[in-house]
């Protein structure tokens, strides 16, 4: 029996001295129900022994179980490796086949928590089969001090929650054992508390359960047991220890006095520090943060005061876990006599924080705070620390970037990013556009420990200046850091011609009975519909594109209507672009001019209307008429389709009607009256024009008495007789169901009808009918705009409110013109199209349509003159009382619906803001936002294009004007090359760019670099124009010829006039490259005749002829000092020549493939060669050593395809693969890949400041790229 008692450690499952308690049954029962169990109790209370006996019971039931000793895992670990050791212990205890350590490492891509859960589910439960699994986590209090304690307990909680959706996890449960409370498990208040599990109370021993002790202690065991419980109150560790000590005595000495003596000798006379058990209790109590409150509560318990037990009180929980108190009958009591003696009132008094001590600590703390305050508060406030005020420069091709803000080591308290350069207002008065990057609340910051990065999104295109405003200290001090941001999408600054113009193609040019399709970028003919195809008896009067730009409706003055499929072949080669037209259907039924056309929303039907005043609906597939819509009095001048079922029509009587396309019924109608605010103010003797008060602006069709009917196609409708007119009808593309627009001529005559005044005694004739030229729907589909002789009016047809005027004052110049009786010249049908070109090279062409998903304009635009002649051939320019009228002939909603663009009969185009409530106050004018200058004649049409970015208008003089809508800047049209661009060069001041064309476009064009405007054109004989070179004074550009003639000339073009001021014959074959010496006195030319010639620029005299190459010479370049000339040839050699003598110095490079281009670095020490093996080679001029080979292109190079930046740090190259690349000259690293060209890229040139790179291509465009690097 010597091993009966065990006074320390865990009792084995077969220990004879183990005493069962209710906790044994409670734990077994909870585990049988797969519940999470919590055994949380003080030390030395038998937790581990309870676990061992529970393991034995589980093993007998076939349950797989494992114990994880958390204390053995150490304290200074990261979560992943720490959890990996937990996995290893589980593997070892369960005897898994899987190598847990290897599995854990292999799953390193998964977070530790998810990895642990996956291990339990896919490895542990899988290998356990159908058997339940119980995991015991012992000594959990050793985890509480670890930085990832919250992560561990939330992982266990997640496992428990996952049982709800993964039934296999219900076979897994776990038991937590240790000295802790559940409130300690998850300290982060932002996480869900650990509120799961069943608490297993661990009661002290009861005397009735100590039968094993009675048997071993002998005859006096009953008295001995009572005395042991007198001292220990059933505390398991003390019961075991006292019973073992008594049993070791001789049987005759085993009495109650012996028990008292053992207690006194062993515990009462000893020091707490000498006993590990008592030392743990003391440390556990004294380490509590709020020791004063804890000991105050404990003192009350020792004094016998009645303290009600409260499980939520952290102070009571601490005392219970320490083991010095117990709960009995809902009250706190001292645990037992031994603890009361050791941790009694004297112990409390010794460790209770005294007031003197507190005062001393407070004083010391105050002194420390004063020192710290001076060191870290006063000094930083008075002498703040700012970061280096180094300007920040960032370039990006994306619309967002990060701005670094260096704050580490400073005491900056606020940082604001302010729009604009340094010198702006204090951050306190920041504008709404300012962005706070960092703002400390409360007291000023003393010390910043980290830097920050601010995301700047939604960047505008171009260069923007910002300021980082930093504040620190008190009183607040401010420092500013300038921030420069440059953003160009794809690094492309601009394209010449403007890339947005492509969305306007094809432009329609209406000529009598044919339509010519032109390229708005360069004016070349893309295709045409001639008179033979159209089969019209008279001239074209209306055209309209479908929303997808693939179909075109065309109407004639003779009443025919035809439908065509238009295919725009937009190849990468500019000269191959074509527009093809194929007939789809013809529609008949009119004997008078067609003035308006429209497509239905589904494109299966089309609408037409004209002089006879009857809109008609046609079936596209069969060409048959479906329905007539009767009710208008006079010609129908505009159509617009708002949805799948209805449409609006406007007639010369000023009334707009809405029709149901399925029933043919009129569903709404409104009369639009003249707006006096649209006319110049008459003098006192001239009465104002007003609308007829008898008209009803809007009426309900159901109650109307006005005749309105439909007819089948067999009827012959009555048509009004009027003079012939021509008009055209366009629509902006991609129409949404809620938006459309239509417009027409202004005004239409009423010949054949002689209106009489109602009162015969009234000598004043009635006002003319307010003829409508434009109908347009707002983007939200609720408001209809009507413009014409009556002015501009808006109709909210969804609420059935009457139309209201949109007052806007026309320009003063236009008013003066009207008052003086001037009128825009009416060119007539022949004059309007006389010749191929007029001023600025602009040709008569139809406006583009269908280029944006939300239509802004379309409808009936006159094909020739903007006015329709009356019967006597004159254009009406006065109202019925003799006052000149300035009518807004065209108007359109802006794409966002917040404004209206108005073009008046004097050619003034103005943007007006709509009132916020949508209705102008009576007698007020709407505010003009901006004007669009350039037209001097009345408008023929007006439209938005390029997704609302461009505003397009044509005057009656056939000028086509395109403006950038947001800025009103004019976008040049018809000015681009019509064929491949071969060469490019910047003037020395960077203000101008020269480009040279080939074959069908044998011209040199001079562009303004800033605006993209064409300044001059030098037209040369048919053939290629190569190698433009600006003279040093920038007044002339030198070019060479390659036209197959016997003699190829070198030409000098005046950049101001476009005239050839000098030329001389230079070579017998094509001249492929030129190079001007730095002083401008010598000119070198490279030719297909295998030679290089050097010329005196002043006299044109040939100075020297360089021979040595065996094939064509593709490139030449002077060194920066003018003493060397490099030449590149198709024979694969790169040669250096001495200048001006012309001696061949050496062959610097010889390769198998042709060398197409060559360029010296600005310092003259290196030279770059473009080789047709798809590489660039950088060579040392002095030694000929190959420094770098640049690889990345996939095609050949042409003359002029390589260039150094002015500072020599970068190299640019253009290649037939269509790309332009920017390289780092020192390392050979690719810096940027410019991929905007649609075809072969031919040549490149840097601007003098090195920030811009120009490239030209077979696609006929000149592109400017952002070439500066940070």
pLDDT at 411: 81
Highest mean pLDDT among 24-33, 632-641, 1159-1168: 1159-1168
Gap between the Cα atoms of 495 and 1237, Å rounded: 10
Beta-carbon count within 10 A of 602 CB: 8
Most confident of 281-290, 737-746, 1172-1181: 1172-1181
In eight-state DSSP terms, residue 846 is B
C-alpha–C-alpha distance, residues 846 and 940, integer Å? 10
Query: Which is more confidently placed, 517 or 858?
Result: 517
**Which DSSP letter does residue 490 get?**
G
Strand partners, 466: 419, 483
pLDDT at 725: 33
- In order, the DSSP letters of 896-939 are TSSEEEEE-TTS-EEEEEPPTTSSPPTT--PPEEEEE----S-E
Identify the CATH homologous superfamily for domain 22-199: P-loop containing nucleotide triphosphate hydrolases (3.40.50.300)
660, β-bridge pairs: 646
More confident site: 1135 or 821? 1135
Q: How far is 231 from 249, CA to CA, in rounded Å? A: 19
Rounded to whole angstroms, how far apart are CA atoms 1043 and 1066? 13
CATH architecture of 594-752+766-832+843-948: 7 Propeller (2.130)
Element (H or E) spanning 53, and its range? helix 47-60
Average pLDDT of the segment spanning 174-191? 87
Q: Give the Cα separation of 997 and 983 in Å (integer).
A: 7
Q: How far apart are the first and last CA of the chain?
A: 87
**1170 alpha-carbon distance from chain centroid:** 38
**DSSP reduced 3-state for 263:** helix
Q: How many CA atoms lie within 13 A of 980 on its CB side?
A: 18
Query: Which of 854-863, 1104-1113, 1153-1162 shows the lowest mean pLDDT across its residues?
Result: 854-863
Of 582-591, 678-687, 992-1001, 1181-1190, the one with minimum mean pLDDT is 678-687
Three-class secondary structure of residue 977 per DSSP? coil
pLDDT-based confidence at residue 1210 (cuts at 50, 70, 90)? very high
Rounded to an integer, the average pLDDT of 621-625 is: 93
- For residue 421, give the H/E element and its range: none
Q: What is the pLDDT of residue 723?
A: 29
Q: For position 8, what pLDDT does the model report?
A: 64
Judged by DSSP in three states, 150 sits in helix
For the chain, the structural domain boundaries read 22-199, 276-353, 392-487, 594-752+766-832+843-948, 981-1266
> Which carries the bigger pLDDT value, residue 906 or residue 818?
906
Tokens in use for 342? 């050791």
pLDDT for res 792: 87
Segment 1060-1071 shows an average pLDDT of 94
Interatomic CA distance for residues 832 and 828, integer angstroms: 6
Residues 1217, 1259 contacting (CB under 8 angstroms):
no
pTM: 0.63
What confidence category does residue 857 fall into, taking pLDDT thresholds of 50, 70 and 90? very low
pLDDT greater than 90 at residue 1171: yes
pLDDT confidence of residue 674: 61
* Cα distance between residue 850 and residue 929, in whole Å: 26
pLDDT tens profile 636-663: 999 999 999 999 999 988 899 999 999 9
DSSP 524: -
Let me know if 818 is exposed, middle or buried by CB neighbors in 10 A (0-12, 13-18, 19+): buried
Directed axis angle between helix 112-119 and helix 149-162, to 10°?
40
pLDDT score recorded for residue 443: 54
Q: The tokens of 266 are what? A: 């062993």
**Going along 1031-1112, which residue ranges are E strands?**
1036-1042, 1048-1054, 1060-1067, 1071-1076, 1082-1087, 1091-1096, 1102-1107
Q: Report the C-alpha gap between 741 and 136 in whole angstroms.
A: 78
Mean pLDDT over each residue of the chain, to the nearest integer:
81
Write out pLDDT tens, residues 526-569. 999 888 888 888 899 999 988 777 899 999 998 999 999 998 88
Is the model's pLDDT at 434 over the cut of 60? Answer: no
Assigned fold of 392-487: Immunoglobulin-like (2.60.40)
Identify the bridge partners of residue 191 per DSSP, sorted by sequence position: none
To the nearest 10°, report the CA torsion of 83, 84, 86, 92.
Answer: 170
pLDDT tens track for 996-1037: 998 778 899 999 999 899 999 999 888 899 999 999 999 999
Q: Determine the pLDDT at residue 267.
A: 83
The secondary structure of residue 852, as a DSSP letter, is: S
Distance, CA of 605 to CA of 454 (rounded, Å): 55
Highest mean pLDDT among 231-240, 682-691, 917-926: 231-240
Confidence of residue 1060 (pLDDT cuts 50, 70, 90): very high
Confidence of residue 729 (pLDDT cuts 50, 70, 90): very low
- Residue that wins the pLDDT comparison between 268 and 850: 268
For residue 523, give the 3-state DSSP assignment: coil
pLDDT of residue 165: 87
* Range list of H helices, 579-684: none
Q: Is the dihedral of CA 496, 1249, 1164, 1224 positive or negative?
A: negative
Say if CB 222 and CB 248 are below 8 A apart: no
Over range 309-326, report the average pLDDT. Answer: 86
Higher pLDDT, 533 or 1103: 1103
Q: In this predicted structure, what is the pLDDT of residue 203?
A: 86
Per DSSP, helices labelled H in 764-872 are: 812-819, 828-831
Range 58-68 average pLDDT: 91
Neighbouring residues of 744: CB distance < 8 A, sequence distance ≥ 6:
595, 596, 637, 638, 650, 727, 729, 772, 773, 774, 788, 859, 860, 861, 862
> Residue 967 — left, alpha, or beta (φ > 0 → left; ψ -120 to 50 → alpha)?
alpha
pLDDT band for 747, please (50, 70, 90 cuts): very low
Q: Give the model's confidence band at 124: pLDDT under 50 very low, under 70 low, under 90 confident, else very high.
A: very high
**Structural contact between residues 730 and 759, judged by C-beta atoms closer than 8 angstroms:** no
pLDDT score for 248: 83
- Number of Cβ within a 10 Å radius of residue 406: 18
**Tokens 């370039």 — which residue?**
395
Separation between Cα atoms, residue 1097 and residue 1083, nearest integer Å: 6
Tell me: pLDDT of 684 over 70.
no
Give me the sheet containing 899-903, strands edge to edge: 890-893, 899-903, 909-913, 928-932
Write down the pLDDT at residue 76.
Answer: 64
464-505 tens-digit pLDDT: 999 988 888 877 888 899 999 999 999 999 999 999 998 888
Q: What is the pLDDT of residue 768?
A: 47
Class for domain 981-1266, per CATH? Answer: mainly beta
Alpha carbon distance 743, 741 (integer Å): 7
For the record, the structure tokens of 1261 come out as 């465009």
Q: Which pLDDT score, from 0 to 100, does residue 362 have? A: 76
- pLDDT over 90, % of the chain: 41
Residue with tokens 């802004």: 856
Q: Chain centroid to CA 951: how far?
A: 25
Give yes or no for a contact between 202 and 323, defined as CB atoms under 8 angstroms apart.
Answer: no
Long-range CB pairs of 989-994, under 8 A, 24+ apart, other chains included: 989/1034, 989/1248, 990/1247, 990/1248, 990/1249, 990/1252, 991/1034, 992/1030, 992/1034, 992/1055, 993/496, 993/1245, 993/1254, 993/1262, 994/1028, 994/1030, 994/1037, 994/1055
Could you give the CA distance from residue 984 to residue 1074 in angstroms, rounded to a whole number? 12
Of the pLDDT bands very low, low, confident and very high (cuts 50, 70, 90), residue 409 is confident
Angle at 930 between CA 924 and CA 934, to 5 degrees: 120
What count of residues does the chain have?
1270
What does the pLDDT read at residue 7? 64
Helix 256-263 vs helix 221-232: angle between axes, to the nearest 10 degrees?
Answer: 30
Does the structure show a pLDDT above 60 at 632?
yes
> How high is the pLDDT of residue 509?
86
* pLDDT reading at 704 higher than 70: no
Cα angle, residue 743 at apex, residues 811 and 803 outer, rounded to 5°: 75
* Cα–Cα distance measured from residue 1091 to residue 1024, given in angstroms and rounded to the nearest whole number: 19
- More confident call, 584 vs 698: 584
CB within 8 Å of 368: residues ≥ 6 apart: none
In angstroms, the CA 759 to CA 591 distance is 36
DSSP 123: I
Q: Which residue has the higher pLDDT, 920 or 91?
A: 91
Task: Kindly state the average pLDDT of the residues 1048-1065.
Answer: 94
* Among the ranges given (86-95, 214-223, 882-891, 1246-1255), the one the predictor scored with the smallest mean pLDDT: 882-891
Residue 248's Cβ-side half-sphere holds a number of Cα atoms within 13 Å equal to 12
pLDDT given for residue 1047 in this prediction:
86
What percent of the chain is modeled with pLDDT above 70?
82
Distances in whole angstroms, Cα of residue 1133 to Cα of each of 174, 1091, 1105, 1127, 1199: 82, 13, 18, 8, 15
Q: Is 88 exposed, middle or buried (0-12, 13-18, 19+ CB in 10 A)?
A: middle
The reply to whether 981-1266 shares the fold of 392-487 is: no
So what's the pLDDT on residue 452? 82
Tokens of 1208: 């020599």
- For 128-171, the pLDDT digits (tens) are 898 999 999 998 888 888 889 889 999 999 999 888 888 888 99
pLDDT for res 1138:
96
pLDDT of residue 888: 64
- Residues paired with 658 in a beta bridge: 648, 668
């Amino acid at each position: 029996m010597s091993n009966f008692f065990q006074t320390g450690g865990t009792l084995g499952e077969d220990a004879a001295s183990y005493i069962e308690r209710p906790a044994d049954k409670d734990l077994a029962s909870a585990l049988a129900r797969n519940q999470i169990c919590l055994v949380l109790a003080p030390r030395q209370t038998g937790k581990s022994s309870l676990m061992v006996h529970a393991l034995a019971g589980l093993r007998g039931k076939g349950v797989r179980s494992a114990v994880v000793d958390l204390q053995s895992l150490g304290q200074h670990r990261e979560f992943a490796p720490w959890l990996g050791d937990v996995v290893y212990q589980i593997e070892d205890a369960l005897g898994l086949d899987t190598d847990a350590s290897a599995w854990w490492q292999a799953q390193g891509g998964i977070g530790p928590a998810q990895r642990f859960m996956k291990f339990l589910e896919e490895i542990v439960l899988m290998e356990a089969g159908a058997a339940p699994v119980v995991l015991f986590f012992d000594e959990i209090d050793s985890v509480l001090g670890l930085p990832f304690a919250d992560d561990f307990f939330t992982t266990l909680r997640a496992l428990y929650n996952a049982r709800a959706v993964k039934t296999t996890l219900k076979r897994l449960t776990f038991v937590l054992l240790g000295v802790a409370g559940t409130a300690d498990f998850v300290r982060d208040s932002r996480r869900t508390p650990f509120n799961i599990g069943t608490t297993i109370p661990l009661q002290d021993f009861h005397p009735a359960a100590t039968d094993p002790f009675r048997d071993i202690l002998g005859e006096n065991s009953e008295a001995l047991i009572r005395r042991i419980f007198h001292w220990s109150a059933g505390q398991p560790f003390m019961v075991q220890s006292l019973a073992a000590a008594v049993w070791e005595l001789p049987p005759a000495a085993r009495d109650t006095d012996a028990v008292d003596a053992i207690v006194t000798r062993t515990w009462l006379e000893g020091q707490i520090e000498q006993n590990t058990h008592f030392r743990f209790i003391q440390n556990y109590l004294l380490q509590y943060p709020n020791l004063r409150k804890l000991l105050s509560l404990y003192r009350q318990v020792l004094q016998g005061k009645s303290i009600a037990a409260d499980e939520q009180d952290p102070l009571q929980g601490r005392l219970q876990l320490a083991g010095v108190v117990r709960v009995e009958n809902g009250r706190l009591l001292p645990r037992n006599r031994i603890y009361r003696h050791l941790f009694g009132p004297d112990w409390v008094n010794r460790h209770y924080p005294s007031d003197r001590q507190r005062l001393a600590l407070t004083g010391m703390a105050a002194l420390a705070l004063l020192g710290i305050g001076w060191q870290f508060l006063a000094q930083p406030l008075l002498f703040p620390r700012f970061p280096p005020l180094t300007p920040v420069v960032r370039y990006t091709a994306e619309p967002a970037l990060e701005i670094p803000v260096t704050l580490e080591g400073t005491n900056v308290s606020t940082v604001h990013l302010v729009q604009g350069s340094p010198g702006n207002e204090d951050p306190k008065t920041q504008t709404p556009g300012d962005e706070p990057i960092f703002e400390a609340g409360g007291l000023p910051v003393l010390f910043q420990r980290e830097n920050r990065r601010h995301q700047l999104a939604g960047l505008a295109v171009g260069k923007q200046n910002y300021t980082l405003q930093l504040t620190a200290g008190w009183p607040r001090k401010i420092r500013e850091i300038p921030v420069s941001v440059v953003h160009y999408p794809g690094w492309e600054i601009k394209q010449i011609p403007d890339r947005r113009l492509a969305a306007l193609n094809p432009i329609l040019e209406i000529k009598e009975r044919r339509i010519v399709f032109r390229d708005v970028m360069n004016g070349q003919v893309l295709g045409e519909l001639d008179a033979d195809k159209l089969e019209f008896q008279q001239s074209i009067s209306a055209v309209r594109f479908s929303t997808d730009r693939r179909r075109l409706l065309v109407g004639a003055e003779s009443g025919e209507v035809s439908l065509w499929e238009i295919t725009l072949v937009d190849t990468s080669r500019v000269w191959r672009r074509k527009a093809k037209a194929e007939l789809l259907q013809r529609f008949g039924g009119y004997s008078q001019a067609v003035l308006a056309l429209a497509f239905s929303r589904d494109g299966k039907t089309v609408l037409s209307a004209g002089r006879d005043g009857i809109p008609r609906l046609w079936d596209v597939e069969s060409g048959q008429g479906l329905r007539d819509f009767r009710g208008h009095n006079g010609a129908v001048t505009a159509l617009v389709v708002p949805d799948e079922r209805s449409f609006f029509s406007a007639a010369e009587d000023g009334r707009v009607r809405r029709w149901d396309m399925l029933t043919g019924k009129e569903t709404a109608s409104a009369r639009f009256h003249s707006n006096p605010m649209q006319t110049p103010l008459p003098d006192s003797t001239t009465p104002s024009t007003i609308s007829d008060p008898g008209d009803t602006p809007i009426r309900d069709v159901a109650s109307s008495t006005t005749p309105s009917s439909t007819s089948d196609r067999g009827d012959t409708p009555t048509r009004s007789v009027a003079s012939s007119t021509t008009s055209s009808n366009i629509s902006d593309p991609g129409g949404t169901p809620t938006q459309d627009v239509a417009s027409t001529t202004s005004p239409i005559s009423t010949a054949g009808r002689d209106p009489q005044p109602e009162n015969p005694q009234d000598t004043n004739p009635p006002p003319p009918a307010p003829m409508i030229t434009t109908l347009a729907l707002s983007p939200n589909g609720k408001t209809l705009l009507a413009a014409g002789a009556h002015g501009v009016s808006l109709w909210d047809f969804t609420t059935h409110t009457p139309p209201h005027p949109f007052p806007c004052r026309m320009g003063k110049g236009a008013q003066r013109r009207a008052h003086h009786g001037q009128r825009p010249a009416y060119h007539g049908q022949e004059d309007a199209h006389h010749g191929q070109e007029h001023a600025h090279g602009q040709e008569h062409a139809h406006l583009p349509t269908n280029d944006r998903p939300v239509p802004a304009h379309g409808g009936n635009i006159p094909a020739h003159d903007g006015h329709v002649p009356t019967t006597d051939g004159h254009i009406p320019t006065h109202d019925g009382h003799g006052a000149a009228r300035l009518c807004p002939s065209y108007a359109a909603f802006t794409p966002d619906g917040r404004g209206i663009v108005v073009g008046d009969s004097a050619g003034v185009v103005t943007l007006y803001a709509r009132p916020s409530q949508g209705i102008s106050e009576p007698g007020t004018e709407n505010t003009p936002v901006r004007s669009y200058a350039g037209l001097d004649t009345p408008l023929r049409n007006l439209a938005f294009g390029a997704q609302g970015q461009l505003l397009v208008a044509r005057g009656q003089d056939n000028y086509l004007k395109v403006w950038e809508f947001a800025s009103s800047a004019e976008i040049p049209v018809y000015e681009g090359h019509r064929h491949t661009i071969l060469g490019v060069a910047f003037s020395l001041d960077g203000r101008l760019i020269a480009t040279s064309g080939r074959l069908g476009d044998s011209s040199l064009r001079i562009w303004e670099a800033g605006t993209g405007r064409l300044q001059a054109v030098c037209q040369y004989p048919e053939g290629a124009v190569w190698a433009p070179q600006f003279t040093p004074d920038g007044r002339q550009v030198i070019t060479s010829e390659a036209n197959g003639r016997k003699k190829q000339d070198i030409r000098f073009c005046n950049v101001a006039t476009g005239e050839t001021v000098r030329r001389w014959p230079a070579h017998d074959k094509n001249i492929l490259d030129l190079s001007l010496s730095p002083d401008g006195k010598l000119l070198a030319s490279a030719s297909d005749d295998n030679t290089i010639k050097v010329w005196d620029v002043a006299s044109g005299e040939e100075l020297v002829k360089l021979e040595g190459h065996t094939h064509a010479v593709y490139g030449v370049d002077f060194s920066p000092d003018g003493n060397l000339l490099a030449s590149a040839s198709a024979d694969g050699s790169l040669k250096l020549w001495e200048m001006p003598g012309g001696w061949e110095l050496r062959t610097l490079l010889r390769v198998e493939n042709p060398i197409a281009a060559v360029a010296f670095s600005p310092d003259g020490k290196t030279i770059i060669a473009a080789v047709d093996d798809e590489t660039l080679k950088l060579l040392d001029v002095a030694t000929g050593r190959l420094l770098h080979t640049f690889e990345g292109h996939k095609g050949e190079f042409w003359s002029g395809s390589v260039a150094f930046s002015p500072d020599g740090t970068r190299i640019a190259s253009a290649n037939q693969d269509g790309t332009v690349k920017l390289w780092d000259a020192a390392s050979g690293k690719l810096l940027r890949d410019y991929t905007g060209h649609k075809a072969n890229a031919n040549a490149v040139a840097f601007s003098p400041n090195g920030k811009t790179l120009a490239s030209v291509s077979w696609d006929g465009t000149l592109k400017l790229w952002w070439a500066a690097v940070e």
